[in-house]
């Protein structure tokens, strides 16, 4: 498997995780703030990784 394909696969995995965590954060916003904040924090960390990958793929 080439490096470009690996980067693309990894970025797709990160995007899926990011959107799942954002959805979880939004759904728990009024039910449990702790879960919502933790999911938003994890999503923010994943977004940082995605930004690094996007920079490398240029």
Question: In 1-58, which ranges are continuous DSSP H helix?
Answer: 3-27, 33-56
Grade residue 5 by pLDDT with cuts at 50, 70 and 90: confident
pTM: 0.83
% of the chain surpassing 70 pLDDT: 98
- CA-based end-to-end distance of the chain: 19
């Amino acid at each position: 498997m080439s490096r470009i394909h690996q980067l693309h696969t990894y970025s797709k995995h990160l995007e899926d995780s990011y959107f799942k965590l954002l959805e979880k954060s939004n759904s728990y916003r009024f039910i449990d703030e702790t879960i919502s904040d933790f999911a938003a924090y994890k999503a923010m960390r994943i977004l940082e990784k995605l930004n690094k990958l996007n920079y490398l793929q240029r």
